[in-house]
C-alpha cells in the first residue's frame, strides 16, 4: 500500500537522530492529505491530519510511536446521513534507512534524511475508519418501501420486516386518516351525496 510520494505533506527532518541509536525527539506535524477516502468515510482536503509521535533512532532505522488523528466525514450505513467522527489511531512503525530491495515493503527514510509520514498516516486512518458506521446506535434507517428517513418521518410502513418486492406497490397505498374508526356523531348525508349526475 506504500506508494512513492515525491513531496510528502507530512515530513520530519531526522538528520540529528540518524546513526545515534537511543536518540529521540517528539514531533507534531499537521497537514491535509489527499486520496483519503473509502466508500463509507473520507477526510476532505480542508481537514488536516495530525501526527503526534515520539521518533526514536534504533539500529535498523527510525521508530515512530504515537497517534494519527483527524476528523473524518462518515456516512451512516443505514440512513446515508453524513456526520463527523473524530479519529485517533495509534501507530508504531519502523522506517528503514535507505530504500529496501522492494520499495513496497514498508516505510523508509528519504535520501535527504527526512521521514515521509504521509503513507503511514493514510494507512492508519483508513484502517481506523469505522467498518459499519451508524450516525447514532439506534438509527432507524431508510424505509425499504418508500425510502423515507425513518429517523425523521413516520411513513406508516411499519417495522423493519422485509417486504416482498411484488407487494411493495400495494404497501405504498395508504388508508385515509381515521379509516375504520367509529364515526362519532356527524350525520351521514348519504342520500343527498348519492344524487346521480344529470344525464
Contact 72, 81 (CB under 8 A): no
Angstrom CA distances, 151 to 20, 75, 84, 145, stand at 58, 15, 18, 15
Minimum distance from residue 128 beta carbon to Zn ion (Å): 20
Q: Among the candidate windows 30-38, 75-83, 93-101, 160-168, which touches Zn ion by CB under 5 A?
A: 75-83
Smaller CB distance to Zn ion: residue 19 or 38? 38
Nearer to Zn ion, 44 or 158 (CB): 158
Task: Choose between 147 and 185: whose C-beta lies nearer to Zn ion.
Answer: 147
Q: What's the closest the beta carbon of residue 77 comes to Zn ion, in angstroms?
A: 8
Query: Residues 148, 154, 182, 184: which binds Zn ion (CB under 5 A)?
Result: 148
CB of 115 to Zn ion, least distance (A): 39
With the C-alpha atoms ordered 116, 119, 123, 126, is the resulting torsion angle positive or negative?
A: positive
Rounded CA gap, 156 and 173, in Å? 10
In degrees rounded to 5, what are phi and psi of residue 127?
Answer: -70, -30
Burial of 178 (C-beta count, 10 Å sphere; 0-12/13-18/19+): exposed
Please count the residues of this chain forming the interface with Zn ion, following the rule CB under 5 A: 12
DSSP-assigned letter for residue 1: -
Beta carbon of residue 167, minimum distance to Zn ion (angstroms, whole number): 13
Interface with Zn ion by CB under 5 A: which residues?
76, 78-79, 81, 135, 139, 143, 145-146, 148, 155, 157
Amino acid at each position: 500500500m506504500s506508494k512513492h510520494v515525491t513531496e510528502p505533506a507530512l515530513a520530519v527532518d531526522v538528520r540529528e537522530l540518524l546513526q545515534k541509536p537511543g536518540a529521540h525527539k517528539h514531533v507534531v506535524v499537521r497537514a491535509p492529505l489527499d486520496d483519503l477516502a473509502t466508500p463509507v468515510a473520507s477526510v476532505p482536503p480542508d481537514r488536516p491530519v495530525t501526527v503526534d509521535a515520539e521518533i526514536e533512532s534504533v539500529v535498523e532505522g527510525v521508530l515512530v510511536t504515537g497517534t494519527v488523528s483527524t476528523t473524518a466525514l462518515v456516512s451512516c450505513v443505514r440512513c446515508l446521513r453524513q456526520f463527523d467522527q473524530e479519529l485517533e489511531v495509534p501507530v508504531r512503525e519502523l522506517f528503514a534507512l535507505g530504500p529496501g530491495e522492494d520499495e513496497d515493503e514498508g516505510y523508509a527514510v528519504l535520501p535527504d534524511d527526512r521521514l515521509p509520514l504521509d503513507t503511514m498516516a493514510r494507512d492508519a486512518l483508513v484502517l481506523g475508519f469505522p467498518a459499519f458506521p451508524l450516525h447514532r446506535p439506534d438509527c432507524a434507517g431508510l424505509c425499504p418501501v418508500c425510502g423515507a428517513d425513518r429517523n425523521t418521518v413516520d411513513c406508516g410502513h411499519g417495522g423493519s420486516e422485509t417486504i416482498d418486492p411484488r407487494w411493495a406497490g400495494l404497501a405504498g397505498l395508504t388508508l385515509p386518516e381515521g379509516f375504520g374508526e367509529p364515526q362519532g356523531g356527524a350525520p351521514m348525508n348519504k342520500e343527498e351525496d348519492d344524487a346521480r349526475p344529470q344525464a
